[in-house]
Amino acid sequence: GAVVSQHPSRVICKSGTSVKIECRSLDFQATTMFWYRQFPKQSLMLMATSNEGSKATYEQGVEKDKFLINHASLTLSTLTVTSAHPEDSSFYICSARDQRRDNTEAFFGQGTRLTVV
Amino acid sequence: SQQGEEDPQALSIQEGENATMNCSYKTSINNLQWYRQNSGRGLVHLILIRSNEREKHSGRLRVTLDTSKKSSSLLITASRAADTASYFCATSQAGTALIFGKGTTLSVSS
């Protein structure tokens, strides 16, 4: 089955610094990837849709200048949390779909647990 | 945004019993998927049911879909302690992101 790799799985950073999270589709091309955030004991909330070669589409309430998304190739999307603060501590998870196989399952990365201290 | 509502929010059962979780959604869909998440871990895909399907089975899992009521159910038969996890339904339209429900936390005690 298709695999999506997300890195790092866990990161601790100081308040005010930036953190980059990578999401790679390993054996398929993904023109579109999705980024989600999950706070403790809550569900996954869609943050943004990452489009290869164009700007990301952000959900309402998500600051595009704070959560920078770059989708420079068909297999890699990155999410950079800029000037991180403790309230940004969360579980971030990416998802990608195999564009050749519509109406099939979405594949998820392993997630990144971000702790801002 | 969240599409679905699961109920119950929490479910506690004994090993060997069946667990049923329900999910309702609001808009038209291409498919509905169920995922499991162990505490603090990533998602595990369980089953996908397309909008033109009514029922699907996979091992101890049985999923139903009623598009007229915009609802789905997940049945886990003969539950085990290892089934303890959070379960989410997620819906999508063609080419769009999955939108997750709030989830059901299942606890199976031995």
Q: What is the C-alpha to C-alpha distance for residues A3 and A30, in angstroms, rounded to an integer?
A: 11
CB contact under 8 A, B98 and A95: yes
B4 confidence band (pLDDT: 50, 70, 90): low
Q: Which of A36, A93, A102 sits opposite B95 (nearest CB)?
A: A102
Nearest to B48 among A46, A105, A110 (CB): A105
pLDDT in tens, B87-103: 999 998 877 889 999 99
* A16 within 8 A of A86, measured Cβ to Cβ: no
Residue A25 contacts by C-beta under 8 Å, 6 or more apart in sequence? Answer: A2, A3, A4, A33, A74, A75, A76, A96, A98, A107
Contact B101 A43 (CB under 8 A): yes
* CA neighbor of B33 nearest in space, from A98, A6, A103, A35: A103
B63 or B95: whose pLDDT is higher? B63
Close Cβ partners of A31 (under 8 Å, ≥ 6 residues apart): A51, A52, A74, A99
Chain B touched by A91 (CB under 8 Å): yes
Test B41 with A111 for CB contact under 8 angstroms: yes
**Burial of B40: CB neighbours in 10 Å, binned 0-12, 13-18, 19+:** exposed
Mean pLDDT by 10 residues, chain A (117 residues): 89 98 92 93 94 91 95 92 97 87 78 97
Residues of A in contact with B91 (CB under 8 A): none
What is the rounded distance in angstroms from the CA atom of residue A63 to the CA atom of residue A101?
Answer: 31
Cα–Cα distance, A68 to A78 (Å, whole number)? 8
Look at residue A63 and give its three-state secondary structure: coil
Three-state secondary structure call for residue A104: coil
Residue A37 makes CB contacts below 8 A (sequence gap 6+) with A44, A45, A47, A90, A91, A92, A93
A104–B contact, CB cutoff 8 A: yes
